[in-house]
Structure 1
Amino acid sequence: MAKLKKKALNLLFILIVGGLGGILADQFLLPYLATVPPFSKIGFIHQAGNGTTIIHPTEKIIITENEALEKAISKINPCLVAVQSYQNKSLLSQGTGLIMTSDGLVVTAADLISDRATQYLVFQGGQSLTGQLVKKDLENNLALLRIEKTNLPVVSLTDLKDLRLGQRIIIIGLKYHQDKFLPFVNLGIIRSINQEVLEVNLSEENSLANGGPLINIKGEVVGLNLVDYKGLLKTIPANKIKEFINL
């Protein structure tokens, strides 16, 4: 027992002496050696003499919500189109659509595609293109048009299982202003989720958002906005759009 205690005391003594030695070396011995050639040429001794501590900086990138929203809107903008239905030269309806495939498939709200129309126009990248009706889904209020253009930008669709209550979302549409179509947005959150329709905490007074996308903060399409004449909004989830166009 006495031997064990003696060993413990010896170990404690060594630790104390070693610690004091380190402090003395750092505070006195190394600064002194830094003034004596050739020790002064040794890097860590020279730095100790100068009282220099090297800190390796780390860069922390913080993306604010506003920056993320701007990036999301910029990402979706090239995929937006304006849609108009005409009977002869009379405008029947207009709203927004979304490019779904690079070879010209465009999805929009079915109530924008009037059966009385003699022509559908799709405005993309400053061009006016004729839209051909491919099909309609009146139950979900979806319509699919085709335009004769290729190499088009396309959207990314989210999966319903990835959505969360309270998730930040953006309504986006196109409006006509001074001879061109400009995007407009509205911000909100997801209030309710089910397989048939998404509810958000927004109404949208601008009916031109009808047929436009609801996107998340990554610029991915959460669903398609349907806006009635009262400004009431509902959103068809992205999985319904996938089923409709067989993606």
Structure 2
Amino acid sequence: MKKLVSFIIISIVLSSCATILNSKYQKVTINTDVNNKVLINGEDPIIKNGKYLLQRDRKPKEIIVKQDGYKDEYITVMQYKRTPLYTLSWIPFGIFLLPPMYDIGNRVWDYEKVINIGQNMVAIPQKGDDTKEIKLNKIGVNLEADNIKYRYFPTYKNFKRREENKEVSVSDDNEKIEMGNTIFSDLLNELLKEKGYIDTTKKILKDSYLNNLLINATITSYTIHSISNTSGYASYGSMVYVDLTINWQALDYYQKPIFSDTTRTTSGQFAIIDYNKRDKVIQNSIKDGMEFGLIEFMNSENVIKLLHDKGELEKENSFADILIPKPKTYVSGLSQAVKSSVTIKNKDGHGSGFIISDNGYIITNYHVVTDTSGLTVVMNNEKEYSVKIIRESKIHDLALLKIEENNLVPFKISDSKDVELASDVYAVGTPSSEDLSQTISRGIISGLRKIDDNSKLIQTDASINGGNSGGAIVNKDGLVLGVVSSKLKGFGIEGVAFGIPAYEIFDRLKIKVQE
């Protein structure tokens, strides 16, 4: 009897051999670049004799590798292989042809012995002194129903066996998803800030045509891969990764598209340890996939050229002189200033401008005429003209236009560089609506702001709205002191607007008055 009891006890012990005898940690080899920093579930790993110790707790292990100048990589591993000690659990029961029902603990399962990660990491393009800054303008979503897909694996073991050949399924919702902008523009801008592509100083007047590019992106295809650790046990966690198709668009400082491309990327594998945080993990995987797409876009030959393009500077420096006739008379007061100001319309909006010659030459901002569809000029008497763009300065946000008309009364342009602070000025233009054309607002010159070595802006507190862009800033005699160019916007910000000094107009556009 004692022998039988002893045999049963030994059998039960042996039947749980893996659970009892296997160590709490498994030693694994992680092959990665020697310069990489390895994290496991966001923490420094335990390393012994060159081996990484992964706890046998049936929880997913998210392995991250980091290296300066490279995109972080993520993979997730789980226990899915029976430990060799498990075979001992069959020894006593082989006699009775019974299964080892008791050996089901966390230590029964092993990870892969060798894990490869971060051996061919993606380099993030480095910003040089002559490289333009980049900012994500907006990231939208435009997903047709058949471009929203998923793959589900009930266990990690199933994923390892069928990762390459399991087909994707289309979402059952049958609804198109459209979003104009998402949180991902802010999230990806964090990466650009880290790499120096976004100026984080609090300077207001820092962006310009020569120094800035904008990027728009639209997600057009989305596949999520969801892998459970083990079937029926949500507490053991899971992992996700996504495939994304993204349309990218580079825009100039004025948000005019100049290049587009499409990327198809796969994110890293992200562990879901707490199911309540699943949405955040999916968000991180989408962000990761988008970062790979952004880097691929930035590394394209065309974008690299755009980041270093100074062709506009050479073009504008080589402008030939444009001769305009010397007028017989000029605007001599505010009432005449109103009559010699114009509204410039296109199909989407309007801006302002002002006459500088008696035969129909007009000055405005370049950004007012970037969209030339349906472009017309409306005079104070409501007469409308077709218009021709004669010259543009994208660098200095100026444009010279021409209408076919004679006997006009033009503005006189001040050529003085002495700007008197606190002097009274008047902004003339079409502020927010076309029926408010040629409105005058009064203010003072409150500052002269340097934006680079060669350019300055006049600061004024005159009331200015978007439609005023391109309008004249004049004194009480109607002498042009500047061109309205921009206004600061934001909560609690009022009375801060800027204009291009008058003395720069003829100089930047190479205009000469015939004597």
Please indicate the TM-score interval, normalised by the length of the shorter structure. Answer: 0.5 to 0.7
- 1:27-76 Cα shifts (integer Å, max 9, x gaps): xxxxxxxxxxxxxxxxxxxxxxxxxxxxxxxxxxxxxxxxxxxx832131
Write the distance in 2 (CA, Å) between the matches of 1:120 and 1:229: 26
Matched-pair contact (CA < 8 Å) for 2:342–2:353 = yes
Match among 207, 218, 239 for residue 503 of structure 2: 239
Which letter does structure 2 place at the counterpart of 1:234? Answer: F
Q: Show the counterpart of 1:78.
A: 339
Write the distance in 2 (CA, Å) between the matches of 1:184 and 1:192: 22
Runs of 4+ in structure 1 deviating by more than 6 angstroms, as ranges, are none
Matched-pair contact (CA < 8 Å) for 1:99–1:155 = yes
Q: Show the counterpart of 1:149.
A: 405
- 1:73-108 Cα shifts (integer Å, max 9, x gaps): 2131121000012xxxxx223111010111111111
Which letter does structure 2 place at the counterpart of 1:75? Answer: Q
Match among 360, 378, 394 for residue 123 of structure 1: 378
Matched-pair contact (CA < 8 Å) for 2:342–2:438 = no
Which letter does structure 2 place at the counterpart of 1:200? Answer: Q
Match among 456, 476, 485 for residue 197 of structure 1: 456
Write the distance in 2 (CA, Å) between the matches of 1:139 and 1:239: 16
Write the distance in 2 (CA, Å) between the matches of 1:146 and 1:178: 21
What is the CA-CA distance between 1:193 and the residue it aligns to? 6.1
Q: Show the counterpart of 2:414.
A: 158
Write the distance in 2 (CA, Å) between the matches of 1:179 and 1:237: 28
Which letter does structure 1 place at the counterpart of 2:484? Answer: N
Return the structure number with greater relative CO, CA threshold 8 A, min gap 6: 1
Q: Show the counterpart of 2:357.
A: 101
Matched-pair contact (CA < 8 Å) for 1:207–1:229 = no
Matched-pair contact (CA < 8 Å) for 1:171–1:214 = yes
Which letter does structure 1 place at the counterpart of 2:376? Answer: L
Match among 140, 144, 161 for residue 396 of structure 2: 140
Write the distance in 1 (CA, Å) between the matches of 2:435 and 2:458: 34
Which letter does structure 2 place at the counterpart of 1:240? Answer: E
Write the distance in 2 (CA, Å) between the matches of 1:178 and 1:234: 22
Secondary structure of residue in 1 paired with 2:430: strand
Q: Show the counterpart of 1:223.
A: 482
Match among 150, 170, 184 for residue 426 of structure 2: 170
Determine which structure has the larger helix proportion and give its number. Answer: 1
Structure 2 unaligned runs (5+)? 1-331
Secondary structure of residue in 2 paired with 1:161: coil
Structure 1 unaligned runs (5+)? 1-70, 86-90
Match among 367, 370, 387 for residue 111 of structure 1: 367
What is the CA-CA distance between 1:129 and the residue it aligns to? 0.4
Closer, same or farther: CA 176–126 of 1 in aligned 2, 3 Å: farther
Secondary structure of residue in 2 paired with 1:166: coil
Write the distance in 2 (CA, Å) between the matches of 1:201 and 1:155: 20
The alignment's C-alpha RMSD in Å is: 2.6
Write the distance in 2 (CA, Å) between the matches of 1:176 and 1:139: 25
Matched-pair contact (CA < 8 Å) for 1:110–1:141 = yes
Secondary structure of residue in 2 paired with 1:76: helix
- 1:201-230 Cα shifts (integer Å, max 9, x gaps): 426452111110111122200010112583
What is the CA-CA distance between 1:188 and the residue it aligns to? 1.9
Query: TM-score with structure 1 length normalisation?
Result: 0.61
- Identity value in percent: 22
